[in-house]
Amino acid sequence: MMASKRRLILILCSLLASIFLLNFKLPSSSAATISPDDIKWPAYKYQPSEGNVPNPQNGSSIWGFVTPQTEEVVTYKAKGQISITAQLAKGTSTGEWTFVVLNHNPEKGGWVRSIYSKKESASKDVNPMTVTFNMQSNDVGWYYFQVLAISPGRNPDYYYSKMIAAKIEPNGQPATKISVARDVLFNGMPTAISAQLEPKNTNATAINWAGSLLSFANSGIVNTTIATGKLAGTTKERVQGAQMTTLSVEADNSKIGTNNVSTKKNIKVGGLDNLEVNTSSQSPVQWQPYGIDPKYDAPNSTFQWYYYNDLTKDTVAKPLIDKDGIQGSKQKVLTFNTGAAAQRYNQKYFQLVVNYTDPVTKKSTSFFSNKAQLIASDKGTLELVSVPQLFSFEKMDSTGGNPSVQEISTSGAVLEVKIPPNDDDKPTIRVRDTRAVTDPSWELDVSLVPFEYLDGDPDLPKSLGTGDGGKTELDVGFFATDTKVMDDGVPVLALASNDRGNDIAKKVYWSELHIPQTPNIQTGAYQAVLTWNLVAAPTAQAPTK
């Protein structure tokens, strides 16, 4: 692909509490309702309307603690977990105690006895005992909890803990899709990979990162992992070619109450793609590595390119040196100044070594790319040799010359380029094609940006027509065809060919510029850039980076 730019000149005259608990679950709405006859209620019962006021009559002196604390109003998600931990005070009488969790929802009324209960023994000779109750619920709203402790013996005493208040919110928004954008990793280099979850307001998180050739570490960032792709071999001589692997990851909807969603992504582990070089090319050819994480880029790293004559076991790496048309042997990007410079390394294998020094610890680590082959051959070239030079326009009528300010401000104008009558002197588009390809097709696109006012006050109109372009039209006429291009920067097809030939010339026979009415136009010079872009067909695929 080759682009050429030419200028056109026109002259004019005249809210949550902190979560400090573990394993919070709520009671199921299917639990049986407790009536006053089922348990021995104390003389004073806690009611939601009376708040979280401890009452000594409830035997609070037996409790070491109950968490959550009554002063806290804690918010939880439905289908989450809560641990209500009841601990007897040290020195409580020995024997087998029974613990029961009670909960109350004011909107539903009545007290519900948890299906969970536990019998434990307490002794003066052991540390205080802790009992944790786990409960489940899909319900939302306010809940109040108490722990009932029943003392040992035939005539037990009933002790009620302080009340716990909790607000249960909806489960949250599940993830419906998860994806991973990154598709390359530099061999052995720890790299942050992020998962994108949809919708954006989902409460799900990415879990279960997995993949062969890959290892994973915690990044400390939600939905992001530190992935390391590792090829066989630990030294630059042993590492061979790049390999493809499959990464998988899930969006965890389990706490929201729906199934997880997952995705798989093909990941290339290596660092270098094979490079094909056209020895006929006179333009620089660059070899770009892929997958280098910014953390391991300059200035924290230095680079060294190596090459191998072959991939046999005993072949030793040779360091590249900047000479004979090679630049960047100690940089991330290697450059061959011409195709001929690359010819000397035809069919050899190259490798990039990244030497990283941690700026804090000063510890050094080296990362070795895979080995990739350079293939150099003469494929010919497709190049845009010349395009018409400066276009200068004047009025089409017999008077010629520049249009007046009044003319364009009231009605617009049509201008033309004076084309020489002799074919040898006509503006020419010349394409040289020496490619040895099955399909010799090419396309030439042209685009025009708005004319800019070059003189005077910068606050005056900067383009012909109104707005920022898209109103002025340039017509370029060839022998049997013409091309119309607007001043909006959008490329249009000017020429196309599938003829095989070394030198193809297309002459411009006429050209017109259609200027719309432009109020407040000023005397002076207006200039625009015309860009010609030659593209081989079919369009080449851009390399992965």
User: Using one digit for the tens of pLDDT, what is the confidence trace for 131-148?
Assistant: 555 555 456 677 777 777
- Percentage with pLDDT > 90 across the chain: 32
- Rounded-to-integer distance, Cα 417 and Cα 449, Å: 18
pLDDT tops 80 at residue 292: yes
Which residue type sits at 102? Answer: L
- Rounded-to-integer distance, Cα 247 and Cα 265, Å: 5
Q: Which two tokens stand for residue 134?
A: 């786990």
User: Using one digit for the tens of pLDDT, what is the confidence trace for 298-314?
Assistant: 999 999 999 999 988 77
Peptide bond between residue 403 and the one before it cis (omega within 30 degrees of 0): no
pLDDT tops 60 at residue 453: yes
User: Using one digit for the tens of pLDDT, what is the confidence trace for 147-172?
Assistant: 777 777 777 777 777 666 666 666 67
pLDDT tops 50 at residue 454: yes
- Rounded-to-integer distance, Cα 92 and Cα 122, Å: 7
Tell me, letter by letter, the H, E, C secondary structure of 226-280: EEEECCCCCCCCCCCCCEEEEEEEEEECCCCCCCCEEEEEEEEEECCCCEEEECC
- Rounded-to-integer distance, Cα 462 and Cα 472, Å: 13
pLDDT for 520:
75
Beta carbons of 284 and 539 less than 8 angstroms apart: no
Mean pLDDT (whole number) for 368-376: 96
Residue in the structure block whose two tokens are 């439905």:
78
- Rounded-to-integer distance, Cα 434 and Cα 380, Å: 5
115: alpha, beta or left? (left if phi > 0; alpha if psi -120 to 50):
alpha
- Rounded-to-integer distance, Cα 444 and Cα 437, Å: 18
pLDDT for 337:
94
Give the helix/strand (H/E) hosting 416: strand 413-416
Q: Which two tokens stand for residue 490?
A: 């959008």
pLDDT for 273:
97
Give the β-pairing of 391-392 and 2-12: parallel
Give the helix/strand (H/E) hosting 407: helix 405-410
Going by pLDDT thresholds of 50, 70 and 90, the confidence category of residue 345 is: very high
pLDDT for 97:
72
Closest-CA residue to 239 (of 185, 135, 317):
317
Which residue type sits at 407? Answer: E
Which residue type sits at 491? Answer: P
Going by pLDDT thresholds of 50, 70 and 90, the confidence category of residue 500 is: low
Which residue type sits at 502? Answer: N
Residue in the structure block whose two tokens are 């599940």:
174
